Structure 1
Amino acid sequence: MRHFLSTLFSIVILSYSGFAQAQTDTLSESREFLGREGLPNFFQKVQKGGPVSIAYFGGSITEAGNGWREQSLSWLQQHYPKANLTHINAAIGGTGSDLGVFRLKEHVLVHKPDLVFVEFAVNDGGQQPAKIHKAMEGIVRQIWRQNRRTDICFVYTLNAPMAPALLAHRMPNSVRAMEDIANHYGIPSVHMGLEVIRLDRQGKLVWGGKKEDFPDKTVFAPDKTHPYSDTGHRLYVEALSKALQQITTVGKPGSHAIPKPFVSDNWENAQMISVQSLTRQGDWKELTPTTDTVARQLRNRFPYLLKSNQPGASIQFKIKGTMAGIYDVIGPGCGQYAVTVDGTPGALYPRFDSYATYYRSHYFFLPTLNEGTHTITLTVSPEPLDKAAILKTRNQTITDPRKYAENAVYAGQLLIIGKLEK
């Protein structure tokens, strides 16, 4: 089996515009990128000069200050001084492509970018390939539905849990699934972390810790996931810049062809809608950054935010479609939602977890719905959570009970595939 995988990863059989590509759905360890149809519209614009917009779409690794996002933008500005480069930081920590496909229009497409970097490999690490296919294909088709001249590049980051697969010459499942979509649409992809794996194999890298504790080695990150700016992020940018230089002349400028879908039930029609217009019962408060600390902390996530701590208070909506969810908040003072679909009680959705020592944006989806019209009610559950026990799973303790006393829920955006009905 190992010999087969080694052979598979070493096949280089198709010459395309001056460099090699492989007829597999993965990237070789010795080749960090696949150019496919390139980024011809982007490079045409930066070479001519003038305004060029780049969207960085991903999770916390992309959101990080002085990380690969800012460093790669700086590199591009240095190499294309005539271009007036601007960028959109469309990254949200702790989120994957499943939320990304819903928020794409509001956070990325409204800015009309010329290039979109898509980074969700780490946060999609626990997702099933079928779900990744639906979300990533939905992202691609939404972008090209708006403008078929917008270029897209998939970039893959990594963390310590992904290392065993890569060290065994296998790509992580999330990357494999994303490569299926990249192959289908001719989208270039860059695995920015393969130099990290090479250093690990050579015994020159430590995945997590303080840099001063390992003076003779490269320390990737403090927590094995979120890289240091001058080590992990620097290695990412070196890989990306090398790839970009080699695909500068690949492909022909023009409209991207949109083939038949890779999966027929992809999430191209995903949309995010403010909860402001939904029917409410009971006591709900509209929060603003000037009057509420949570709304102020998350003002870049939610233009509109509701809160209720009244058991039995509810939000109701009707959709004609197959999926529904909520983009909301998890934190110390949160409780849980009780959900009813078409009058049938469903599961409870706790808005508190073992990381909920602070407030952060989060989301959840209901199980896939049958085609048709459905009435959905989200109710503040009266059932309390054992927050001390939940925190104990990560060796956290409650030192200030007042901070955790409330059992509220928040609501910011409705996530649906389908149409919101009146």
Structure 2
Amino acid sequence: MARIGSTFNVWWSETMPVEKKFNPIPLVLAALAIFIYFFFWRVGEPAPDLARSAPIRAALESGDPQTWVAIGDSITAGTNSPFRYTDRVEEILRSRYPRARLEFQNAGVPGDTASGGLNRLERDVLSRNPDVVFVEFGWNDFKNGVKPEDFESDLSQLVGQLKAGGIPVIYLLTTTQVDVALANWKIKKRNAIIRDIAEENDCGLIDLYGYFALATQKGSSLDDLMSNDNIHPSGAGQEVIAQAIAHEFIP
């Protein structure tokens, strides 16, 4: 950027009359910063899909038993965090719905991929007859070099089996961001696949990547939200995930 500014100033000095000279570089940099902020980083909190969650909210309100299951990798398992987002969601929703009889079961397995989740779906999810299922995969697929088309196929099959198993409400979770630009670029590509699958199968979508970006807008840093390995959410990061999920069920 310094070289660009120097070249620009030389050109400006040679082409502008002396009495009209001024340094345009601060204005250029300010405009660039505004562009990046509004078009790349600004993320607003999404409105909950109240139509999708209406029957679940009614069950929570009335005290009908509810079994939820989250299937995923170490992020769901709560690696490097003092608690798991599933436990916090239970606490938040029981506070909001005093009559709720909610059990949010955790089927997170560290190191797992969408393919691994597909292989254990019957044992860890369908056999529990859940009312709601949350699916969180993508990080290990990305880290292990699984081709995007294979990830898409595995996740699509997993969602298809959930629907065939009669699961009434399914939510897909996007992958959280990290403090590495190249990794985030690849994560965004995987998240685009997750979004497409959610839309094609009429599943809910909880954009964890967006919620983490929103948290940083509000003053948190990624160092706060991530543990020391820069992969697994810290307790603060798990809290962001829990609040994002609970947000879908609180009008």
Scaled by the length of structure 2, what TM-score is found? 0.71
Does the CA contact (< 8 Å) of 2:175 and 2:209 recur in 1?
A: yes
Cα deviation, residue 163, structure 1 = 5.1
Q: Secondary structure at the match of 1:233?
A: helix
Match of 1:50 among 64, 67, 70: 64
| Contact 1:33-1:189 at 8 Å conserved across structures | no
Alpha-carbon distance in structure 2 between the residues aligned to 1:40 and 1:135:
29
Deviations along 1:277-330, whole A, 9 cap, x unmatched? Answer: xxxxxxxxxxxxxxxxxxxxxxxxxxxxxxxxxxxxxxxxxxxxxxxxxxxxxx
Give the percent of matched residue pairs that are identical in Structure 1 and Structure 2: 22
Contact 1:196–1:205 at 8 Å: present in 2 too?
A: no
Q: How many residues were matched structurally?
A: 210
> Does the alignment pair 1:191 with 2:197?
no
CA distance 1:59–1:78, change in 2 (3 Å)? same
Alignment of 1:54-203 (within 5 A): 54-64=68-78, 66-125=83-142, 126-148=145-167, 150-160=168-178, 172-198=188-214, 200=216
In structure 2, distance between residues paired with 1:88 and 1:143: 16
**By percentage of residues, which structure has more strand?**
1
1:3-29 deviations in whole A, cap 9, x for unaligned? xxx9xx89xxxxxxxxxxxxxxxxx83
Unpaired stretches in structure 2, ≥5 consecutive residues: 1-31
- Per-residue CA deviation, residues 29-86 of structure 1 (Å, 9 max, x unaligned), is 3244773962344223222212110101111111126121211121122222212111
Taking the TM superposition and a 5 Å limit, the aligned residue runs for 1:1-400 are 29-32=43-46, 35=49, 38-64=52-78, 66-125=83-142, 126-148=145-167, 150-160=168-178, 172-198=188-214, 200=216, 204-207=220-223, 218=224, 220-229=226-235, 231-246=236-251
1:305 corresponding residue in structure 2: none
Q: Within 2, Cα distance between the matches of 1:107 and 1:159?
A: 27
Q: Cα–Cα, structure 1 residues 34 and 162, in superposed 2: closer, same or farther, change >3 Å?
A: farther
Structure 1 distance, partners of 2:160, 2:176, is: 25
Distance, in Å, in 2 between the alignment partners of 1:36 and 1:117 is: 17
Q: 1:204-235 deviations in whole A, cap 9, x for unaligned?
A: 5143xxxxxxxxxx353121122221x11122
Q: Which runs of 5+ in 1 are unaligned?
A: 11-27, 208-217, 247-422
**Bigger relative CO (Cα 8 Å, ≥ 6 apart):** 2
- State how far apart, in whole Å, the 2-side matches of 1:89 and 1:202 are: 29
Contact 2:50 2:249 in 1 (8 A): no
With over 3 angstroms needed to count, the CA separation of the structure-2 counterparts of 1:157 and 1:109, relative to structure 1, is same
Q: Distance in 1 between matches of 2:139 and 2:97?
A: 30
The Cα offsets for residues 87-146 of structure 1, whole Å up to 9 and x where unpaired, read as 322110100111111110111100100000111132232432322221222122211212
After superposition, the Cα gap between the structure-2 partners of 1:68 and 1:171, relative to the gap in structure 1 and judged at 3 Å, is same
Give, in whole Å, the separation in 2 of the partners of 1:144 and 1:42.
17
Task: Summarize the Cα distance change of 1:143–1:32 in structure 2 as closer, same or farther, 3 Å threshold.
Answer: same
Q: Report the more deviating stretch, 101-110 or 28-37.
A: 28-37
Q: Is the 8 A contact 1:162 1:172 kept in 2?
A: no
Deviant stretches of 4+, over 6 Å = none
CA spacing shift, 1:195–1:183, aligned 2, 3 Å: closer
CA RMSD in angstroms comes to: 3.2
The 2-side partners of 1:40 and 1:139 are apart by 24
The 8 Å contact of residues 178 and 222 in structure 2, kept in 1 or not, is answered as no
Q: Residues 229-278 of structure 1: CA distance to partner in whole angstroms, max 9, x if unpaired?
A: 1x1112222233233324xxxxxxxxxxxxxxxxxxxxxxxxxxxxxxxx
Report deviation, 1:192.
Answer: 2.4
